[in-house]
Chains A and B, each alone.
Chain A
Amino acid sequence: MELFDHVFMQRALIEAVLIGGICAVIGVYVVLNGLSFIGAGISHSTFAGVALGLMVGIDPLWTALLFSTLVALSIGAVSERTNLKHDTSVGIFFAATMALGVMLIGLMDDYYVDVFSYLFGNILALTATDIWVSAIMAALVLGIVILLFKEFLALSFDAEVAAVMGLPVRKLHYLLLVLIAVTVVLSVKSVGVVLVSALIVTPAAAAFQLTVNFRRMMLLSVLFGIGSALSGLLISYYIDIPSGAGIVLIATVLFFLAWLLSPRRKRHAQP
């Protein structure tokens, strides 16, 4: 296909596999730990980071990474140290970082195009450096998940017993939040601040509908994630829409199909 003769298209393909895969892997832990809203909070917090980067003139990726990591750790710390529930502290950070981002954007004159692509993603406009950075970050996240496979599993299923066994559950929890932050940042150029948390949650949620086996859930989630990212990429190529929207809409369609076919749902529906 001559479509793939374009360099930007080759890059987009590699990126789609990278982000579709890594978001889906992290998504499994996000879904099983009930961290979906935290994921949304972390991803929106990158907006302020992006705005700061555009304003100061450094690659927004790094300022976004700084912001999202700080917010991930803060959400963890605030819900640990106060009697606020997770969703309350997320709600506060969510709004505060968006407000900060909007304020910074308001201080600039002519960055609206850039801001738009960071909000909704543009997988067709990546540089070679973008791909390398994504690949390195994805490898890092995947490596940690593989190294700590059983620890994250125990944390997700039964954190209390994991703690009694002496696993460092607090550190693991914070590490998981940071991994979510890194995953968000590496995907943000392609999927956008607003939609990246959907690419994390939706494929894993679809996989959860279809299996009761952890490894199979991981595998299905990755298939759905990469499938959504590739199809979304083609959609945004043929009809000129932001890639994040195409990717997330495909993922959502997959989710509903999975939900319709779900043995879990059928079992649930029976009295």
Chain B
Amino acid sequence: MNTDLSANTGGTDPKNAITFSNVTVHYDQLPALENISFSIPEGSFWGIIGPNGSGKSTLVKTALGLLTPSRGTVRTLGREPAALGSLRASIGYVPQYADLDFSFPLQVIDVVAMGLYGEIGLFHRVTRAHRKRAEEALRRVNMEEFADRQISALSGGQRQRVLIARALVIDPVLLILDEPTAALDPGSAEGLYGWINDLHDRNDMTLILVTHDVGVVSQYVDSIACLNRTLVAHGRPKDVLSGESLEQMYGCGAVLFGHGDVPHMVVKHGGDR
């Protein structure tokens, strides 16, 4: 059991948004994740860190049912990911930016409305009411005046906000962001983290943030999980980033840089792909 559950759930019997039990995931013969066990309580804000190729994306894709573990079990919102059914309408996912083609001929509002396609259902069309909700979601990311722009004409940070709006349009109870700052400069990245933190404060949702920036993120998140194919360490940032855990952090590619009261860390961009 996690000891830090009560830290952010007010002490009432906590339920878990996601539970990994002895999860191993293979691509072909190669394991990308081995024997991962931990739980993410409902309503919490978690950071998933680790170097490139450490299995962070694999972990969230497994939780979303995009990948099937070769061993172990996953429960997402209490169900097997493959059997999420209508619960899918409560999950927002912002995939890694680099996986998308922004030369695709689409307007911002169309991309955001895509977040509603699951809810709208097969064969049905996007209505004016759906567009209204997409506009509302754009307002939440301060992009309302960009509704009619082409996605190809946006900056990296704006594109990222559009993808977040697409995930927010369904008012998710679980929001997963995979390296949302990858296309941003450090200043904008810090701004986005602060903004994501506000989002979590204002809404009753479980938020999972995959990232490289341990130092910045540890100010905001309730807990971090540090991956390097295996789960190297997990828990509250101040526990993980101190004492013996700190040594373990080197195992997941983190190095100290700079100084101060809070250890400032960054995860090495490993070239092991």
Render B75-98 as a binary contact track against A, CB cut-off 8 A, 1 for contact: 000000000110011010101000
A68 to chain B, nearest CB (A): 26
Within 8 A of B (CB), among A185-220: 208, 211-214, 216-217
Give the secondary structure class of A's interface: helix
| Chain A residues, CB < 8 A from B95 | 158, 160-161
A220 to B114, CA, bound (A): 23
A151 to B91, CA, bound (A): 18
**Pairwise interchain contact A148-B150, C-beta atoms closer than 8 A:** no
Most buried by A among B28, B100, B104: B104
A151 to B106, CA, bound (A): 14
| Chain B residues, CB < 8 A from A153 | 106, 110, 114
Most buried by A among B65, B99, B105: B105
**Pairwise interchain contact A154-B117, C-beta atoms closer than 8 A:** yes
| Chain B residues, CB < 8 A from A212 | 103, 105-106, 150, 152-153
A77 to B99, CA, bound (A): 23
A147 to B119, CA, bound (A): 16
A32 interface residue per 8 A CB criterion: yes
**Pairwise interchain contact A158-B114, C-beta atoms closer than 8 A:** yes
B126 interface residue per 8 A CB criterion: yes
| Chain A residues, CB < 8 A from B103 | 212, 264
B125 interface residue per 8 A CB criterion: yes
Q: Which residue of A lies closest to B111 (CB)?
A: A157
A17 interface residue per 8 A CB criterion: no
Q: How many A residues face the partner with a CB closer than 8 A?
A: 29
A78 interface residue per 8 A CB criterion: no
A217 to chain B, nearest CB (A): 5
**Pairwise interchain contact B104-A161, C-beta atoms closer than 8 A:** no
**Pairwise interchain contact B105-A211, C-beta atoms closer than 8 A:** yes
A59 to B122, CA, bound (A): 36
Within 8 A of B (CB), among A15-51: 32
| Chain A residues, CB < 8 A from B105 | 32, 208, 211-214, 216-217
**Pairwise interchain contact A151-B117, C-beta atoms closer than 8 A:** yes
A156 to B91, CA, bound (A): 21
A212 to B166, CA, bound (A): 19
Within 8 A of B (CB), among A119-178: 147-151, 153-154, 156-158, 160-168
**Pairwise interchain contact A83-B166, C-beta atoms closer than 8 A:** no
| Chain B residues, CB < 8 A from A157 | 100-101, 104, 106, 111, 114
| Chain A residues, CB < 8 A from B89 | 165-166
B68 to chain A, nearest CB (A): 12
Supposing A208-B105, A212-B150, A213-B107 touch, asked if A164 and B114 sit within 8 A by C-beta, the answer is no
